[in-house]
């Protein structure tokens, strides 16, 4: 609010926006200053907001998106017009794809010039471009509408299926002034922004009846289940029914990965063998082979495997998107899981306890699990020179075990896939990664937001290629002195460092990088700690020290350049490999 020496009489667009955000408990902005929002970043800081300035808007956007996932409040990303907006748009779209709530606020050029295409500074019709790529998009032209604009953006981001929202604020708006009292009255504190959605009792009963009829039931937990923050009830449902479960990548830790009912180590056994599957907050998209094909026991890659599905989701349109859903349960996960538990408990008290899965089914899973775990144990125990993914991740696995509340950020191909299966998670929402798109570049944005939101240690396991997409943000990590330890798995390239140019020409192959690069020097350049680690012992000492000291640290972990495979675990998605299938 603008103040003169006496009473505040006038306010302006800048302050109304800041007040509207603060009124709704949104106290952190991830962004990058410039025309027309530089003053906004200064004023936001002056008004007590946390303003985290990045080196590239995509990273600020990714930070906002994951802050939204972790807190259930929309993360705020602030950018300048056209190029800054476009840089942020990648993250906004990725957030929408992943069902993370965020609001991208971009300054924009003057409407009358943009609409006549007269060549304004950074001219672009940003609203039109954002619209198809996010959940909702709004523009505010008058200062008295800022309150409504922010309220609409918040509701759109967090209600129903969460997603990304674009808020377009033309430069002129910020300087518009209005009576301070009227301005204050125009702001809206959003009441119940993500209302509970109670499932229909008959849908709950239908789902439970189907699940009860199963001979080989399975539960799949997705990142929607992690987002819902219904941790205790989800655990109670899993334990009460005794049904084995598979966590999707970002649902790892919702129940500890060491839980006896986890079937993660028997994934390729349980998917085709299960007859009824309860899906909680996951989609039957590519990560679950669209619910059909060989992964699910189908004869060819398009065949249905015969499973019946119960699907809990807040989006009524999710059901039947890939295969038939026999029992959709539509509602928010907290309400749906609670309703299921209540029904099970009520039946139990009136003499019909839940029938636990058969010993045959559980025994077969345990057998497969034990074999896989023993096999992995053998590989992890080896100590090759140079390090490979397994020997390095054996260290990371121990570190997370002793620091279960540390956040783990993960991206890469082999660096991603091996970490997912080797590093057990013990607490909900501690693992954040490339998500639905398998996108590279989330690393440092996620790491910064994870540190800002949790205040605790963050460990980022990064492929050397993946790291490159956001690597400049190590300066941001140093500037805000965040307890982030980046571990770059340096195998000299994308997937491997051994490809050669078949022509023998001077250019290296498209997938290889400078050999023996020292990423640790990047962190040192900004005053952080850099460590070059060539053995598991060096890696262990460095990560332990980083977690202890909370100093920004980057460890260049040298990995055998022959150890990776093309595309990691998803080799079959490469067109040439797919053709051979
Ligand atoms: O049951 P089986 O026998 O099958 O075994 C499974 C489990 O049972 C077992 N397991 C266990 N065993 C023992 N103990 C335990 N605890 C245990 N837990 C599990 O292990 C196996 C595997 O289990 P998992 O992981 O559960 O199962 P699976 O079959 O792998 O699951 C299937 C999927 C599909 C769910 C899973 O694979 C998955 O989530 N995949 C995600 C893959 C993904 O998203 N990859 C990233 C994209 S790759 C590519 O696109 C890349 N690019 C291109 C690019 C991108 N992406 N973005 C942009 C903006 N530009 C370009 C690039 C550039 S990756 C990349 C960089 C790569 O290079 P880097 O240097 O960064 O990385 P390096 O590869 O390291 O060099
Ligand atoms: P994963 O990648 O882990 O499989 P997805 O992102 O594919 O998970 O799926 C998440 C699902 O969770 C989406 O379909 C989304 O609609 C749903 N979802 C998100 N939040 C909630 C919630 N609070 N209640 C119910 N469903 C939710
Ligand atoms: Mg690599």
10: helix, strand or coil: strand
Asked if residue 443 belongs to a domain, the reply is: yes
> Do residues 153 and 21 both lie within one domain?
yes
Token output for 203: 């849908």
Range of the domain at 140: 10-186
> Do residues 404 and 519 both lie within one domain?
yes
pLDDT of residue 576: 79
Closest CA to 295 of 284, 310, 282: 284
414 CA to centre of ligand 1 in angstroms: 6
pLDDT of residue 581: 56
Of 135, 153, 186, the last residue of a domain is 186
Of 186, 210, 235, the last residue of a domain is 186
Closest CA to 200 of 321, 346, 318, 336: 336
239 CA to centre of ligand 1 in angstroms: 28
Asked if residue 193 belongs to a domain, the reply is: no
> How far is CA 505 from each of CA 105, 496, 502, 515, rounded to the nearest angstrom?
47, 20, 8, 17
Phi–psi pair at 463, nearest 5 degrees: -65, 155
Q: Which segments in the chain show pLDDT lower than 50?
A: 1-2
Phi–psi pair at 517, nearest 5 degrees: -60, 150
Asked if residue 371 belongs to a domain, the reply is: no
Of 129, 153, 186, the last residue of a domain is 186
Distance from C-alpha of 139 to C-alpha of 126, rounded to nearest angstrom:
10
pLDDT of residue 572: 85
Contacts of 285 (CB under 8 A, 6+ apart): 322, 436
pLDDT of residue 310: 99
412 CA to centre of ligand 2 in angstroms: 23
User: Closest ligand 1 atom to the C-alpha of 246?
Assistant: 26
Work out how many domains the chain is built from and give that number: 3
The position carrying tokens 């045959």 is 360
Q: Quick check: CB of 413 below 6 Å from ligand 1?
A: yes
Asked if residue 475 belongs to a domain, the reply is: yes
> Do residues 333 and 285 both lie within one domain?
yes
SS3 content of the chain, % helix, strand, coil (to 5): 45, 15, 35
State the virtual CA torsion across 506, 508, 510, 511 in degrees, nearest 10. Answer: 180
Name beta bridge partners: 262.
Answer: 245
Looking up residue 114, the CATH number of its domain turns out to be 3.40.50.970
> Do residues 20 and 165 both lie within one domain?
yes
Name beta bridge partners: 494.
Answer: none
Q: Which ligand is nearest to the CA of 415?
A: 1
Closest CA to 105 of 66, 146, 70: 146
Q: Quick check: CB of 445 below 6 Å from ligand 1?
A: no
> Do residues 109 and 247 both lie within one domain?
no
pLDDT in tens, 452-484: 999 999 999 999 999 999 999 999 999 999 999
Let me know: does 313 contact 321? Beta carbons within 8 Å. no
Backbone CA torsion sign across 310, 312, 316, 319: negative
Q: Which of 95, 283, 442 to mutate to test the pocket of ligand 2 (most atoms within 8 A of CB)?
A: 283
554 CA to centre of ligand 3 in angstroms: 16
pLDDT of residue 361: 98
Distance from C-alpha of 458 to C-alpha of 256, rounded to nearest angstrom:
19
pLDDT of residue 578: 66
The position carrying tokens 């859903």 is 325
pLDDT of residue 129: 98
Q: Which ligand is nearest to the CA of 436?
A: 2
Which runs of consecutive H residues, i.e. helices, occur in 179-274? 180-186, 201-212, 223-227, 231-241, 267-273
List CB-based neighbours of ion ligand 3 within 5 Å. Answer: 463-465, 491
Residues with CB under 6 A from ligand 2: 98-99, 161-162, 222-224, 227-228, 248, 250-251, 281-283, 285, 287, 313-315, 318, 332-333, 436
pLDDT of residue 580: 55
Token output for 151: 């309220």
Q: Which of 95, 163, 313 to mutate to test the pocket of ligand 2 (most atoms within 8 A of CB)?
A: 313
Distance from C-alpha of 220 to C-alpha of 226, rounded to nearest angstrom:
12
* Residue nearest ligand 1's atom 58 by CA: 440
Asked if residue 196 belongs to a domain, the reply is: no
Phi–psi pair at 136, nearest 5 degrees: -155, 155
> Do residues 208 and 283 both lie within one domain?
yes
pLDDT of residue 5: 57
Contacts of 372 (CB under 8 A, 6+ apart): 265, 266
Q: Which ligand is nearest to the CA of 284?
A: 2
């Amino acid at each position: 609010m603008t103040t003169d020496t006496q009473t505040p009489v006038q306010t302006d667009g800048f302050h109304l926006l800041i007040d509207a955000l603060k009124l709704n408990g949104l106290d952190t902005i991830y962004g990058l200053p410039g025309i027309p929002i530089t003053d906004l970043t200064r004023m936001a800081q002056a008004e007590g907001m946390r303003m985290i300035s990045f080196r590239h808007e995509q990273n600020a956007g990714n930070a906002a998106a994951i802050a939204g996932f972790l807190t259930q409040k929309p993360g705020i990303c602030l950018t300048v017009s056209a190029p800054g907006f476009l840089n942020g748009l990648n993250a906004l779209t990725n957030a929408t794809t992943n069902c993370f709530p965020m609001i991208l606020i971009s300054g924009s050029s003057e409407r009358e010039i943009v609409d006549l295409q007269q060549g304004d500074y950074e001219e672009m019709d940003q609203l039109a471009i954002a619209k198809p790529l996010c959940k909702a998009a709004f523009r505010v032209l008058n200062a008295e509408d800022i309150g409504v604009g922010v309220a609409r953006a918040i509701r759109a981001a967090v209600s129903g299926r969460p997603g990304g929202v674009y808020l377009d604020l033309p430069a002129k708006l910020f300087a518009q002034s209005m009576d301070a009292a009227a301005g204050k009255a125009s702001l809206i504190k959003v009441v119940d922004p993500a209302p509970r959605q109670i499932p229909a009792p008959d849908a709950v009963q239908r789902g439970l009846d189907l699940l009860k009829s199963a001979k080989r039931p399975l539960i799949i937990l997705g990142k929607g289940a992690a987002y819902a923050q219904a941790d205790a009830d989800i655990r109670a449902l899993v334990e009460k029914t005794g049904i084995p479960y598979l966590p999707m990548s970002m649902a790892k830790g919702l129940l500890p990965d060491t839980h006896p009912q986890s079937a993660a180590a028997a994934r390729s056994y349980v998917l085709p063998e299960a007859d009824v599957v309860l899906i909680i907050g996951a989609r039957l998209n590519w990560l679950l082979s669209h619910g059909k094909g060989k992964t699910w026991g189908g004869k060819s890659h398009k065949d249905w495997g015969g499973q019946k599905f119960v699907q809990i989701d807040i989006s009524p349109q999710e059901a039947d998107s890939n295969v038939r859903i026999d029992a959709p349960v539509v509602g928010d996960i907290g309400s749906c899981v609670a309703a299921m538990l209540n029904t099970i408990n009520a039946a139990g008290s009136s003499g019909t306890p839940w029938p636990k899965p058969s010993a045959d089914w559980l025994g077969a899973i345990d057998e497969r699990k034990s074999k896989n775990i023993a096999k992995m144990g053998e590989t992890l125990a080896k100590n090759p020179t140079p390090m490979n993914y397994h020997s390095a991740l054996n260290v990371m696995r121990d570190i997370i075990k002793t620091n279960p509340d540390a956040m783990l950020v993960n991206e890469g191909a082999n660096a991603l896939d091996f970490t997912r299966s080797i590093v057990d998670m013990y607490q909900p929402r501690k693992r954040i990664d490339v998500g639905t798109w398998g996108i590279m570049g989330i690393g440092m944005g996620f790491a910064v937001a994870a540190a800002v939101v949790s205040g605790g240690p963050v460990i980022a396991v990064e492929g050397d290629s993946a790291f490159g997409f956001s690597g400049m943000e190590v300066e941001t990590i140093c500037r805000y002195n965040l307890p982030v330890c980046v571990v770059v798995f340096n195998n000299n390239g994308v997937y491997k460092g051994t490809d050669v140019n078949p022509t023998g020409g001077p250019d290296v192959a498209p997938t290889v990088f400078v050999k023996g690069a020292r990423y640790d020097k990047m962190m040192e350049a900004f005053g952080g700690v850099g460590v070059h680690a060539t053995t598991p012992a060096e890696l262990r000492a460095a990560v332990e020290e980083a977690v202890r000291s909370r100093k920004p640290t980057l460890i260049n972990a040298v990995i055998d350049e022959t150890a990776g495979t093309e595309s990691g675990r998803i080799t079959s998605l490469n067109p040439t490999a797919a053709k051979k299938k």
